[in-house]
Structures are given as structure tokens and as C-alpha cells.
A and B are shown apart, each in its own frame.
Chain A
Amino acid sequence: MNDRPDLTGLLAPSCPAPAAETGRVTLPHGAGAGASARLFETLLWPRLANDLLAPRHDGAVLGAAGGRLAFTTDGFVVSPLVFPGGDIGSLAVHGTLNDLAMCGARPLALSCALILEEGLPLATLAGVVDSLARAAADAGVPVATGDTKVVERGKGDGLFVTTAAVGLVPGARELGPGRVREGDAVLASGPIGCHGAAVLSVREGLHFESEIMSDSAWIGPMVEALLEAVPGTRCLRDPTRGGLGAVLHEIARGAGAELEIDEAAVPVDAPVRAACELLGLDPLFLASEGRCVAFVAEADAERALAALRSHPLGRGAARIGRVRAGAPRVVVRTRMGARRLLVLPEGEPLPRIC
């Protein structure tokens, strides 16, 4: 497996949106899948490339006197600002700290920039900031620095949050797609897609029989339990925008290997499945905000699962697939026993016509 993956697979089209041709930013550019990947590869990556970005990980690990720092940043533009199971404030903290956790880092401090749209009710802002502060306190991480800007009415979506965080990587921990090996087991820490389904259900004004709650949570302690039990864990990823499907594609490319996923083994809560059936969506591409995907050596798989399940957030952990030799791609073994390629969809998941 090579360390410099062939990127042609990434650019392989999956759907007809010729988003790159319009010369403007379109919504699919932000959805974590095909158009996002192209934007990254053709516009952002060539302009920003450096050694710290090169490993294509969730954060950068910086050498520093006495240890190694992990550093990450994230922007949050969720609509609506408050959704079942969370809001943009707690989401910003969870998302950012989870990116550090994916590097094996323990968080030290957060920064937070708020971009407010003229007209946003101060009560809404206060609620979001309360939630943000509570989430940071729960994780024991101070918000060390911040910034606030206001844009004119109509130039923002109420409130955008940008966070950054630094953390410390203890000992000799090394996690990353480049460490994934043929034969490794692929684990999911719990049911996927709850966050995406929860946000979609309120955004589309759909009322399901059972309310779907976001899984937004800080998973640092669960990850620590895993890394303690299996120090040789190869790679961790949290399946946020673009969902499990997008993460698997990234890892397949980063590892230069084929990933084979058992469709029946991927944990999906029944209400999320039902919502996906109704809307014609694939839960594999719905975001989670309190889950992770772990790659471990086959010999460590059972121990890793036990460690994940020992934490409340990892109770639903499952082995979902394996790493195989072959071209970087993701193959799904269907419930019927057939094999098919998992192809990145274009842009935001959209309900189908029928």
C-alpha cells in the first residue's frame, strides 16, 4: 500500500451536479461528499499544501518542546441553530474536540469565533453560548480565546461558529490513514446517522413517530478507553459531514487499500432507518457527531470492541468490515450477499421524488 494515494478515485464523479462549472460556490460544495472533495482537491489543497496538512487527518500534530501538539479548526453553519439533542454551541465544541480525539490528543484549550447576523435575538445567542460553555466545561477544556463579528442582515444564517482547539498527544501515539494495513478490522463505535437525520427532520419539517435525537457528544473519554486497551490502534475518524461513507472513502484513499463493509453489520437505529426509507436517503451518508470509526489489527478487534462498549457512548459498537488489498475503493457486501461499490453522492443528501 502506498502512502501517496492515487487521487483519481476521489475525483471520480458519482452524480451529475457539475458544481465546479458554475464558477460559484454551491451548496454541494459544503456537504462533505463529491463536490466538497473536488473543492478541496482543486482549489484549497493546491493553495494550502504543506507537511502538516499532508497526512489528510482530522487535525495536525505539531512537534513542540516536551511533547507533540494536535491542532484543529472547524466551522459550524448548521440550520436550524437548535435541533433535537443539541444546538450549534455544543455541536461546535463536540465537533472540534472530537477531531482532536481522532488524533489521539487530549484537549488543552479551545478558541471560538462567532459570526452573528444583524437581527439575531440576543436570547438565542445566550442560549447557544450557554450550551457551548457547558459542553466545554463538561470536557474540562477552557475557551481560551475568541472573537465576535457581526454581518449585515441577510449576509449570514443567524449565527456561524468557528472553533479551533489544541491538545497534547501523549507518548508515542501515532494514528492516521497511512497506518491502516491489509487485514485490519473496521469498527464503528455506535449507531450512525442520528445527527444528520435529526437535523434533517426539523429542517424539512417532518414529524416522525419517534423523535430522532442527535448523537452529538464529546467522545474523548471513550477514545481514551480504546487507546488504553489497544495502543496499536491504527486510525480513528469521526463520521461527520458526508457520514460513514465519506470517511471510508477518505481512509481507503489514505491507506491505498480496499475497504469492504458488511451492510447488515453497520449499526443504524430503527427510527433513523425508517426516516431514511421515507426520504430515500442512505444512512451511510448521514452525519454523526458522537461516533467514531476505528481501524485496528484483526488480533486486537475483540479487545477494541470490548473497550468501546465499556463506555456509555460506545455501547452500540460493532465490527462493520475489513481492509483488503486492492485499489483504493469502498465495497459493500449487501444483505443479499452481493457486492457493490459504495460511491460518494454529490452534495447534501436530498429526498428523492419517489
Chain B
Amino acid sequence: MRLVDEYRDPALAHALATAVVRRATRRWTVMEVCGGQTHAIVEHGLDQLVAPAVELLHGPGCPVCVTPLETLDRAASIAEEAGAIVCSFGDMLRVPGSRGDLFAARARGGDVRVVATPLDAARLAERIAPQPVVFLAVGFETTAPAAAAAARWALARGLANFFLLVAHVRVPPALEAIAAAPDARVHAFLAAGHVCTVMGTAEYESIAARHRVPIVATGFEPVDILEGLALAVAQLEDGAARVENQYRRAVRPEGNPAARALVDEVFAVADRPWRGIGLVPRGGLVLRDRYRALDAEQAFPACAAREPAREPEACRAADVLRGALRPPACPAFGRGCTPEHPLGAPMVSPEGACAAYFRWRGAEEAP
């Protein structure tokens, strides 16, 4: 497969890993931001190739697992009590809210469906009008343009039965929070390539400069990730802290102007709660006023959580999500908290950091 196989070439990967290990004069801590990169790292065992020169910390980059409990409860309630069809991406259906996941809501009688794109949900709404269809819009800047396109399509057609339950989150504010933490352990970041494909790299310049931390926009294949690590380690060894672009085949500094304009037309930046972290200033998106008619929160006010959902106290998700705590070092890891009975965000989705550790390393690493 062109554009995949050449980025999985074992010989090239080993050469890059060797270069990283040779260049490092001390142990560096590098955080990959995106769950997709975490996935590739554990799938291919890349962390084993660069250890002990580089310790990889898994960042907050799983938009599915940082979706707040309240949002999931509201989606379930909209499906079960308001009789709307709730649609979302496949992996969203397995993330538990207070009363189980959206599969459980479906088993209780709610109509919950998997769609491949937000536009599929909008088309479904047009086909079955007037029954309401709600798209649970999750994801980073990567999926926001598609949700925005669906919103614009629905508004242009005057669809009165299509709604968005918006839970989009933005990556740079989370990076900023991690870098700014007083106990930050992260020496460098691998920024999520697909987010940069849409948004470009300009937003990271000030973070890199202010916190003296190299940021490398990085792709998702083994060779991408190892090359991203090589660039980050080279900067660290040189005492540099700038934004670099490893993912040149996809990322331009200005991003994708058409997609950015679309997102900007439909959504405004707003403070948003992240599951496991709490309120992240400017950490998410909300619908702009002219799209307010599509807002599922306004359309189904009775489906709001009756009382705020509380994360369990034993969970130290916030520390894990900002790289301050290795998952196995959490007292609940593998004991009270497992992928089957997750306490917190990073254990919730398979791409979360705790789930990744539990899944690939097992519970034996628990203290």
C-alpha cells in the first residue's frame, strides 16, 4: 500500500530508533499528544525501540475519552426519553456514562446508530423527517470541519429535525495546560499530525517559545513517529525549542484554510469541561448564534443531567492526562480501575493512556 508501507519499513524504523538512542545524552521525556499515535506506538512496540533514551508519555489526545459524563448521559437520555435517533462515530458508543454506554441505551430501547460521517446523520434526518436526529459531535479540530459541513448543509436545507450535541475539544489549550503545570515532566511534544493538517502549526509557536519546549507536528506511522522523536531529541540536545514539521506530506504551516473557515463559520471557541481534567479554558467549541437552532442542548433541555455527574475520587486521571503520573503508578490502576470498570477518562477508551498500558502491559505493572 503506497504511503503506508514505506512508513512501516522496519529497516528505516530501526535506523531512526538507533539514531535517537545514539543522540540522547540523557533520558528525555517526550509526550505524544494523539491517541492515534499512542495506538501506533503500542501496536508496533516503538517505545521498546527507543528505551531507555526516551520515555514516551501518552498525552490527553483521545477526544472520545475526554467527553464528559454529562454529555454521554444527555445523549443516552435524548435517545431513550426524547425518542430521537442519536448518531455518532463507532468508538463513541462504547464509552460509559453514568448508566453504561450508548450500546446499553440502545439495549434499553433507545435508537442509537453508528455513522461514518456527520453528513450521514444529516441525510438520515432529511430522509426520516420529522423524527429528530442528533449527532453527538466529538473529536478534535480534525473532525470539527465535517460536523460544521453537516450543520451548514442542514441549515441550508432548512432541516428542522437535525441537531448537534457538540463535544468538540481543541488540542492547543490542553498542551498549554500540560506545559504550564508546575510539575510538568514533558521535555518535548509530538503534536498530532491530523490536527495540524487542519489547523496548521502557528498556534504552537507561542507555546514552544513560552515554555521552552520543542513541538514536532508528527504523523501516525512508525517511521513518522520515530522521525518525530529524532527531531525532538535533536532539538533537546541542541537546547532548542521551536516548532518543526515532520508530517510534511500532509501538514502545511497554514493548515487547511477552507476547513478552518468552515469551522469558524459554524463554531466559536469556548471553555469546555474535559472528562478527567475539568474545565479547560478555550478548550472546546460551541455552535455560533446563527446555528443555535441546531443545538441539541437547546432542543432537548429536559435531557440535561439532573445532577452533575461526579468522577470517582480515587481517580487521578488529571495527573495521567498531563503526563505527571504514569498510569501504573496510580493507586487505582488495575485494582479499582480496569478497562471493564473504568474510573476515569484515560481508562475509558481503548486509546486512553491507562487503557493502553493496561492492555499492552497488563496489570502486573501495578505497584
A-to-B contact residues, CB < 8 Å: 13-19, 21-22, 24-28, 204-206, 270, 273-274, 277, 334-341, 343, 345-347, 350-354
Contact = CB atoms under 8 A, between A and B. Distances in A.
B83 interface: no
30 contacts: A16-B340, A16-B350, A17-B94, A17-B96, A18-B341, A19-B104, A21-B104, A22-B108, A25-B107, A26-B103, A26-B104, A26-B107, A274-B1, A277-B1, A336-B13, A336-B45, A336-B46, A336-B49, A338-B44, A340-B43, A341-B360, A341-B362, A343-B359, A351-B91, A351-B116, A352-B36, A352-B351, A353-B63, A353-B138, A354-B36
Contacts of B29: none
B133 to A, nearest CB: 16
B98 to A, nearest CB: 12
Nearest to A345: B350
B139 A26 contact: no
Interface residues of B, number: 56
Contacts of B36: 352, 354
Interface of B: 1, 4, 8, 10, 13-14, 36, 42-46, 48-49, 63-64, 89-96, 100-101, 103-104, 106-108, 114, 116, 120, 138-140, 142-143, 194, 222, 338-342, 347-351, 355, 359-362
Given A27-B103, A337-B14, A353-B64, 7 more contacts: A13-B338, A340-B360, A341-B362, A345-B350, A347-B94, A351-B114, A352-B89
B90 A351 contact: yes
A16 B43 contact: no
A153 B363 CA distance: 47
Contacts of B89: 351-353
A336 B107 CA distance: 41
A354 B143 contact: yes
A28 B63 CA distance: 22
Given A24-B107, A345-B350, A352 B340 contact: no
Nearest to A17: B94
4 closest A-B pairs by beta carbon, nearest first, are A338-B45, A350-B90, A13-B340, A24-B107
A36 B107 CA distance: 16
A315 B45 CA distance: 31
Contacts of B351: 352
B90 A352 contact: yes
B355 A16 contact: yes
Nearest to B115: A204
Nearest to B101: A17
Contacts of A19: 103-104
A234 to B, nearest CB: 28
B94 A343 contact: no
A350 B114 contact: yes
Contact of A343 (B91, B101, B348, B360): B360
B49 A338 contact: yes
B360 A14 contact: no
B91 A18 contact: no
B106 A26 contact: yes
Contacts of B10: 335-337
A204 B114 CA distance: 9
Nearest to A204: B116
A70 B100 CA distance: 41
Contacts of A343: 359-360
Contact of B348 (A16, A205, A350): A16
A15 B355 contact: yes
A14 B366 CA distance: 16
A17 B91 contact: no
Contact of B101 (A18, A205, A341): A18
A273 B339 contact: no
Residue with the highest number of chain B CB atoms closer than 10 Å, among A16, A18, A205: A16
Residue with the highest number of chain A CB atoms closer than 10 Å, among B43, B347, B361: B43
A347 B347 CA distance: 17
A297 to B, nearest CB: 30
Residue with the highest number of chain A CB atoms closer than 10 Å, among B94, B95, B140, B341: B94
Contacts of B93: 350
B116 A334 contact: no
Given A15-B339, A16-B340, A345-B350, A340 B90 contact: no
B92 to A, nearest CB: 7
Given A338-B45, A343-B360, A353-B64, A270 B1 contact: yes
Contacts of A336: 10, 13-14, 44-46, 49, 222
B103 A340 contact: no
Contacts of A273: 1
Contacts of A350: 90-91, 93-94, 114
B45 A340 contact: yes
A349 B216 CA distance: 32
B103 A353 contact: no
Contact of A334 (B4, B43, B142): B43
Residue with the highest number of chain A CB atoms closer than 10 Å, among B90, B96, B103, B108: B103
A50 B45 CA distance: 42
Contacts of B103: 17, 19, 22, 26-28, 347
Contacts of A340: 42-43, 45, 360
Contacts of A28: 94, 103
A351 B91 CA distance: 7
Contacts of B94: 15-17, 28, 346-347, 350
Contact of A339 (B45, B100, B106, B108): B45
Contacts of B355: 15-16
B4 A16 contact: no
Contact of B347 (A16, A17, A26, A353): A16
Nearest to B3: A277
B178 to A, nearest CB: 20
Contact of A353 (B45, B96, B108, B139): B139
Contacts of B194: 354
A17 B105 CA distance: 12
A350 B340 CA distance: 17
Contact of B100 (A22, A338, A341): A22
A24 B8 contact: no
Nearest to B35: A354
A201 to B, nearest CB: 11
A22 B104 contact: yes
A206 B116 CA distance: 9
Contacts of A337: 10, 14, 45, 49
Contacts of A338: 44-46, 48-49
A350 B116 CA distance: 10
